[in-house]
Structure 1
Amino acid sequence: MSLDLLAAGLTSLHEIAGDGNEHAETCRLNLHMNRIKDLDGLCQFRNLEELILSGNCIKQVRPSDFKGVRRCLRVLDLSCNELKGLEGLQGLCALQELRLAYNHIECLEGQMNFWGQRSALKSLDLRCNRIAKLAQLLFLGGSTKLEEVAFQERSMGDGGNPICEEVMYRGTHQCAM
């Protein structure tokens, strides 16, 4: 079951709460372009495989936010929010695709949550953030299943991170991906 509430003016996940079991079978939740600030109330979606929260007002996520969906969530879209890092995403062992474009991310240290064979992460979208130091790319090294990482728009124009302007970025980018 899919639930799409795009630009519905929602400020909280509690606003779509039902009787406690009403949304238990929802597999895809699209809340694009609302005014949601946190993920409190996500636990009511116990079978959630895809969560789209792009275009909201989320500044941070906490590990407890994902308590009920850690083993089933495969796609998480937090693009166009106000995130500064990847902290709070630990325990999402089934996550295969993470979209974080158009945030304020400077540090990739939280990517260590997806290191090792237990992580299923294959795709990471980090376009249009504030990643400025090539050393941040080291945090991608332990993500053994990672196949695709985006740091800039394909057009090679605007839409990148400051590291995309570094002289050594091009060679690093082609080798690392």
Structure 2
Amino acid sequence: MTTDTNLRLAEQLGDALKQKGWTITCAESCTGGGIGYAITSISGSSGWFEQGFITYSNDVKERLLGVHHDTLVVHGAVSAQTVEEMAQGALKAAKANIAIAVSGIAGPDGGSPQKPVGTVWFGIALADKVVSVHQRFEGDRQQVREQAIDFALQQAVEHIR
């Protein structure tokens, strides 16, 4: 389900991408395709979005995006290192100008004292840089996922501008 905020941010993203003549891709774990869904809810999005990756398991993160096995073992799927590698792998595979990656713990299970439920990492990759951002969202599983989608779209817009 796409929220009004998702749609507003996806429209802003599309406008920013069109102004630069860029394309975007996404590599999603805890959002399960929600970012791609929000993007493709915008008419004309095929002009700036060709593909995304839903990589829920570690094995798929490794196979499709080139995330190193050692990164997952040492840092875990929900880490700066993993989302940075996810974003770089998606950018390369999709031949896009920008990639956004997300991995987190939406709950209600899976949290730990070091990584409680609501912990989400975002990776943003461009040709010349990759950055990661950490957020902690409150709420139930659906609320965490919706907040993560909104934050990912917002981060993409900010890095394009």
Bin for the TM-score computed over the shorter chain: under 0.3
TM-score (ref. length: structure 2): 0.24
Identify which of structures 1 and 2 has the higher relative contact order when contacts are C-alpha pairs closer than 8 Å and 6+ apart: 2
Find the structure with the greater CA-based Rg.
1
